[in-house]
Structure 1
Amino acid sequence: MHLTLVLVVGIVSVVATSAVADRIGVAAPLGLVLVGIAMSFVPGVHVELEPEIVLDGVLPPLLYASATRMPGHDFRRNFGTIFALAVYLVALTTVGAGYLAYAVLPGVGLAACLALGAVVSPTDAVAATSVGSKLGLPSRLTAIIEGEGLVNDATALVLLTSAATAISTPTHVWRVGVDFVYSVAVATAFGLVVGLLGVVARAWLRDAVTTTAVSFTIPFVAFLPADLLDASGVLAVVVAGLVSGAMGPRHLPAPSRLAESVNWRTIAFLLEGGIFLVLGLQLKPLWNGVEDAGLSAGTTVATGLLVAALTLGIRIVFVAPVIARLRYSAERAGRQRARIAGVEQKIDDLGDRLTPRRLQQARQRVAQHKADLDFSVTQRLGARGGGVLAWSGMRGAVTVAAAQTLPADTPHRAQLILIAFTVAVVTLLVQGASLPYVIRWLEVPGDDPALERVAYAALAADMTDAAAEAVSRDAVVASVGVEAVERMERLLRDRAKPREQDAAHDEQARRHGELMGVVLAAQREALLAAQAEGRYSSAVLHRAQQTLDLQELMVQRLPSTSG
């Protein structure tokens, strides 16, 4: 009964706090942390943050849910920046924060201090994107922040494992590099296999309830084997999520994907809210733990503030060359874009020598490269975007949970955990609360709604042309009749025209349903081709995907096309 009461109170607290935070314009994670801190001082309220529950039970589904929502071409286009932030910046922060702690904490060995550095190095993308989404950050900046948050946990946990091992056993630097490469390679392989098999299994089931149930197991199926082989289970989950998100629209029916989307959004909302609430609840127990160890909690918090300031400073310095590199890439893309026409002409000249399939593949690769160049030129991130990116480096509950995995014999373990907690809470509350003002002060422009409307209209026209071509094929005309095809063509050209004929009688509705199946299949292929080429933004593609899914649900309510 006690556990049931805790769960009910927790869910009610998450929902109520999130609702109030939304009404007053505050990011929900910040409000939940403050509520948790206040509740930690209520007599009788004591909730332990078990690191295994967070790292093995909560983190995999959270990362999987985020990864499935990450557009594949956004991740690919920003991979260089994401890799730099998630690997190089994490390593730099680990070393910098570790040596700072080593300098100010007498009696704590270098290995333990580097472990602390690894703990405070990964950012929490949930808090940053929850603020940015309300203030209209450009989609590219949001994708970079989310991508960094997906990958950097894996880097930090690998470094933490190496540093924690070095506390009791000497470890060479080259060994850390070998462990990292091994961890990434094995995790990536497991993630690819599990993601692919998960899509195949759910496509075979084709029932919204059973496919959703299977999707709940995918993050753990990816995590556990990789973790047992001492690889990064977290990275395996991310790769599986990216594969599922990329392959789902082609292989899974709309009802299954819509059901999964709603259920995963609900799960992610409760897990994210619960983890931030529990994070705030740790203040009093951690404070008491330091005092019980005979150490000064006030001095420990002050050290945490110093470490938090250093992590922010390192991030600001690191982001500057990253933005400079993006600026150089945009200038180079502008020069390369001028030569694309010549490449397209060469492919046309070779058309007679290539098979139709090879010709189509060549044209698609060129179209994708052209779209990537256009993306680099039009979606620039200048100094203002870099300022927001630098200020978005908040830490979260993973930092505190990872700190609690330090070996029991670690010198001043309670003090290190409270330092990690201080870094997480201070960056969340200070940077998180001020991020909206930073965004407004820097006047970072969001995506242009007018351009998105034009792009959506162009994509809709492409999909309509593909559908019109599909319904006019001889096989389709022979199957449903000329009259039905002509009626569908008029409907395609004028979406506003009412469909009184659809329910005239079952036979006519059957033919309409069959034609709509052809239309939707052709439109989905056109959408997937546009997604592969990257000619449109993620927001435009997502809107078109939702429209198709809803239309597919409507068609399924028509009489069966089998007669």
Structure 2
Amino acid sequence: MHSIDVVLAMLLAVAASGYLVRLLPFSLPLPLVQIALGAVISGVFDRGHELEPELFFLLFLPPLLFLDGWRIPKQGLFRDKGVILELALGLVVFTVVGAGLLIHWMIPAMPMAVAFALAAVISPTDPVALSSISAKVPIPKRLMHILEGESLLNDASGLVCFQFAIAAVMTGAFSLASASATFLWVALAGVACGVLATFALSRAQGWIWRHFGEEPGSAILVNLLTPFAAYLAAEAIQASGILAAVAAGITMSYVELSGNAPGALRVQRGAVWDTVQFTLNGIVFVLLGEQLPGILDGAVHSVREAGHVNPWWLVAYVLAINATLALLRLAWVWISLRWSLFTAHRRGEQRASPPWRIVVATSLAGVRGAITLAGVLTIPLLLPDGTPFPVRQLTIFLAAAVILVSLLVGSLVLPRLLKGLEFPEESSEQQQEDLARTASAKAALEAVEQLRRQGVVNEADADYYNRAAERVSQLYQRKVGDGDAAETDPEQAKAYEQVLRKMRGAGLSAERNELFKLARRGQISDELSRRLVRNLDLIESRQR
């Protein structure tokens, strides 16, 4: 019962955090509020609640990574793929090597492999933690897309490096050649598992819908289980479950563009996934706050074993690691920018260098969050010979402290750094939206006219079809109704409303199909398509 009480208390804390962050007289990121509530729970129950590492990894990471891959704007991801890959892959390796060497030099009691594991797990940035800060900070949209793409891919690269480092600690050996070959296998096979799992489940679900009808509850549950299926399938063949979950999410975004799912299902599914994301991220941060007292005690003990009697050395470690991460990121961003400008100049292109504040903001926007915490908590408790994992509590504490400091720096420095900075208008987005609205309205008008022609074959209903088509057409032409008089005869009114509902349904369906078609062709972004389709789904649900 004690465990159930703790879980219920954590869920209540997550729910309360959403209100507390709005009630506070000063701006504070949501994750910090959740960490504070977790610390309160720890004090009430007098101990932290620790999950098994493998169970924690399985419960939290697959759905979070799947949702990140599903919802990230693909057009921006492929447009800036060069910059994103430089940050998501090159910067991760640069951070692992640079920060890992510093940590081992600074804390000799921490073995080299453990230092690299810590550097790897703190290298990924977190999109949810960044969003909690960027909601009140005017970050340019294209920069946000780059940061989101980076956070999606560096989750996978950072956690894969972390797993290699942990394996080196457990086995006591590391081979670069073997690790490179293994990395290729776990990456390619993991991506393949994610793609195949999503396609297989989607096709199976579509077949069931066609033969037995739709059941929204079952469909949503299958969608929730998809990341776990991809993750477990990849782990079963010794591939990367992390990459499988990411690939499954990206594949799901393309499956969604087929438009096969009913509008009502998309509305319900979106609400369920929003709740799942908020809950899982919240529980991770509440769990961090709940374990902080125990983590701090273990870290103090590890510091004393390292030869430093004064526990204030922990503060020095944390500040040094955060400063190193910021400087490494700033150096990489600056070098990457100079190289991009140089190659553009070689091609004869003229590119303006961004303001220095944007460059610094890109460096400080590397906020760590749930992925770092979820990863570090999976460190094994024991080595294969039964001895405790070296400096485990200190490693977890340093990762947790990096999360806290990055959130504080981001929420305090970024708003001041970007205040008053003028950003250029995103003209292409407005052009895409205009194209989408015009094309979908034309498609709806054609569908309504086609349905009217089919309906006037029956002379008894010809008047209803003509008037309903005229009214729905005016809705698309002027976006307002014409205020037709209501039918006086109840039977006639019922027949007219049925025809009108059919006309509106045909128009909405044609609009959606056109939006999906534009997104598949790349004429509009999947992000814009998803937003406009959601509006149509809500209109359809309201009419029903």
TM over 0.5: yes
* Pairing of 1:205-220 with structure 2 (within 5 A): 205=209, 206-220=214-228
Q: Is the 8 A contact 2:121 2:158 kept in 1?
A: yes
Matched to 1:546, the amino acid is R
Q: Is the 8 A contact 1:323 1:383 kept in 2?
A: no
User: Which residue does the alignment assign to 1:530?
Assistant: 518
Q: Is the 8 A contact 2:73 2:525 kept in 1?
A: no
* Pairing of 1:189-200 with structure 2 (within 5 A): 189-200=192-203
User: Which residue does the alignment assign to 1:411?
Assistant: 390
User: Which residue does the alignment assign to 2:239?
Assistant: 231
Q: Is the 8 A contact 2:21 2:30 kept in 1?
A: yes
User: Which residue does the alignment assign to 2:297?
Assistant: 288
Whole-Å separation in 1 of the counterparts to 2:140 and 2:260: 30
Shift of 1:93: 0.7
Whole-Å separation in 2 of the counterparts to 1:230 and 1:6: 34
Shift of 1:132: 0.9
* Pairing of 1:110-259 with structure 2 (within 5 A): 110-167=112-169, 168-203=171-206, 204-205=208-209, 206-249=214-257, 250-259=259-268
* Pairing of 1:384-533 with structure 2 (within 5 A): 384-407=357-380, 408-409=382-383, 410-440=389-419, 443=421, 445=423, 456-473=433-450, 477-480=453-456, 481=462, 483=466, 484-498=468-482, 500=484, 505-533=493-521
Give the alignment's TM-score, normalised by structure 1: 0.82
Deviation per CA, 1:25-53, whole angstroms, max 9, x where unpaired?
32211222233345545671422254334
Shift of 1:332: 9.6
Deviation per CA, 1:469-511, whole angstroms, max 9, x where unpaired?
33334x7513455725444433322221246478753333333
Q: Is the 8 A contact 2:471 2:481 kept in 1?
A: no
Q: Is the 8 A contact 2:57 2:378 kept in 1?
A: no
Shift of 1:176: 2.2
User: Which residue does the alignment assign to 2:459?
Assistant: none
Whole-Å separation in 2 of the counterparts to 1:468 and 1:333: 46
Deviation per CA, 1:126-174, whole angstroms, max 9, x where unpaired?
1112211333433322222222222222212221222222233322222
Whole-Å separation in 1 of the counterparts to 2:280 and 2:409: 23
Determine helix, strand or coil for the equivalent of 2:135: helix
Whole-Å separation in 2 of the counterparts to 1:88 and 1:46: 37
**Pair 1:5–1:61, CA change in 2 (3 A):** same
Determine helix, strand or coil for the equivalent of 1:282: helix
User: Which residue does the alignment assign to 2:535?
Assistant: 547
Determine helix, strand or coil for the equivalent of 1:315: helix
User: Which residue does the alignment assign to 1:320?
Assistant: 334
Deviation per CA, 1:401-454, whole angstroms, max 9, x where unpaired?
43344453443333333222222222222334433333326x263866x98667
Shift of 1:533: 4.1
**Pair 1:539–1:23, CA change in 2 (3 A):** farther
* Pairing of 1:45-60 with structure 2 (within 5 A): 45-48=47-50, 50-60=52-62
Q: Is the 8 A contact 1:22 1:28 kept in 2?
A: no
1:265 to 259, 266, 274: 274
Shift of 1:65: 2.4
**Pair 1:400–1:543, CA change in 2 (3 A):** closer
Deviation per CA, 1:210-256, whole angstroms, max 9, x where unpaired?
21111111110011111222222111111111222232251211111
User: Which residue does the alignment assign to 1:13?
Assistant: 13
Whole-Å separation in 1 of the counterparts to 2:504 and 2:346: 44
Q: Is the 8 A contact 1:395 1:424 kept in 2?
A: yes
Whole-Å separation in 1 of the counterparts to 2:343 and 2:79: 11
Whole-Å separation in 2 of the counterparts to 1:493 and 1:528: 21
Matched to 1:516, the amino acid is R
How high is the sequence identity, in percent, across the aligned residues? 29
User: Which residue does the alignment assign to 1:351?
Assistant: none
Deviation per CA, 1:330-360, whole angstroms, max 9, x where unpaired?
8899969xxxxxxxxxxxxxxxxxxxxxxxx
2:88 to 86, 89, 97: 86
User: Which residue does the alignment assign to 1:561?
Assistant: none
**Pair 1:389–1:23, CA change in 2 (3 A):** farther
Matched to 2:19, the amino acid is A
Whole-Å separation in 1 of the counterparts to 2:228 and 2:354: 36
**Pair 1:549–1:329, CA change in 2 (3 A):** farther
Whole-Å separation in 2 of the counterparts to 1:88 and 1:431: 23
CA RMSD of aligned residues (A): 3.2
